[in-house]
């Protein structure tokens, strides 16, 4: 099964890091967040990746070439539209094959997905962004998707609480309660499983996946939610990046469920 990772955005809220490199290459523990996400998928046996590139996509190609160069059998096949990293002996590095596809600098998320149609082989595929880590059991997610028969599954997560709740009478605080994780509603955590027909819901390059396509799937009753109660954390800001780095340095990052 193909795993699509959108890695072409500007990452403007991480400008301290993304001025010189794409968000996918922002590091946690001296490894790009992209690597952490791919390791999660690989842990569950999903090793066939398609990366949708855009902003500073050449940097991702260069990093991937350096990473794969650790294996002398790896070959790099370039064509007009994409770059494919593969092992000539079929003993893939970490079990991976990775196709890099330039989906344009200004293309929105839905457009990036639609541009990948030639390599999806009209089959069900997985989709995520390169900005969050989690300990999701992806095999269970896939079984859930296959069980309901709809076109799309989104992983619903509860974000970490950010603020405490104040009860105020006049100007006096009468109660302070730290917000619990369970008091926060479910949000889109990405980690989708999608039938190929969802591409018909995307008009073109200017379509944002989170807008018309998902909204229409909801209206038609074709979007189901897999509830993930475990760890999930996005990396939208430098503060969140530092939080993840601190967890990694602790030696027990909650998203690292694979073995070295």
What pLDDT, on the 0 to 100 scale, is given for residue 94? 59
Indicate which CATH number applies to the domain containing 223. Answer: 3.90.550.10
What domain count does the chain have?
Answer: 1
- Would you say residue 254 lies in a domain? no
Pairing of strands 97-102, 152-157: unpaired
User: Domain of 70?
Assistant: 2-158+185-249
Q: Give domain status of residue 170, yes or no.
A: no
Report residues of the chain scoring pLDDT below 50.
91-92
Residue 164 lies in a domain: no
Question: What residues contact residue 106 under an 8 Å CB cut-off, 6+ apart?
Answer: 54, 205
Residue 92's pLDDT is what? 47
**177, part of any domain:** no
**Is residue 174 in a domain?**
no
pTM, two decimals, is: 0.89
Answer whether residue 191 is part of any domain: yes
- Does 105 fall in a domain? yes
- The answer as to whether 176 is a domain residue is no
């Amino acid at each position: 099964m193909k795993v699509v990772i959108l890695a072409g955005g500007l990452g403007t809220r991480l400008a301290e890091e993304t001025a010189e490199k794409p968000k996918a290459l922002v590091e946690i523990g001296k490894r790009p967040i992209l690597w952490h996400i791919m390791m999660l998928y690989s842990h569950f046996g999903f090793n066939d990746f398609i990366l949708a590139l855009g902003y500073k996509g050449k940097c991702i190609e260069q990093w991937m070439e350096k990473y794969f160069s650790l294996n002398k059998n790896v070959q790099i096949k370039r064509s007009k539209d994409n770059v494919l990293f593969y092992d000539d002996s079929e003993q893939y590095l970490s079990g991976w094959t990775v196709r890099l596809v330039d989906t344009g600098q200004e293309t929105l998320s839905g457009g990036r997905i639609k541009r990948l149609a030639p390599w999806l082989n009209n089959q069900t595929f997985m989709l995520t962004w390169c900005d969050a880590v989690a300990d999701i059991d992806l095999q269970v997610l896939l079984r859930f998707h296959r069980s309901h028969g709809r076109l799309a599954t989104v992983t619903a997560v509860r974000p970490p609480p950010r603020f405490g709740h104040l009860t105020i009478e006049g100007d006096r605080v009468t109660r302070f309660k730290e917000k619990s994780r369970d008091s926060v509603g479910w949000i889109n955590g990405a980690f989708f499983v999608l039938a190929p027909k969802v591409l018909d819901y995307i008009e073109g390059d200017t379509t944002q996946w989170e807008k018309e396509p998902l909204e229409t799937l909801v209206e038609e009753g074709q979007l189901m939610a897999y509830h993930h109660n475990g760890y999930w954390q996005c990396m939208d800001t430098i503060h969140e990046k530092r939080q993840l780095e601190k967890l990694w340095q602790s030696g027990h990052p909650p998203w690292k469920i694979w073995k070295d």
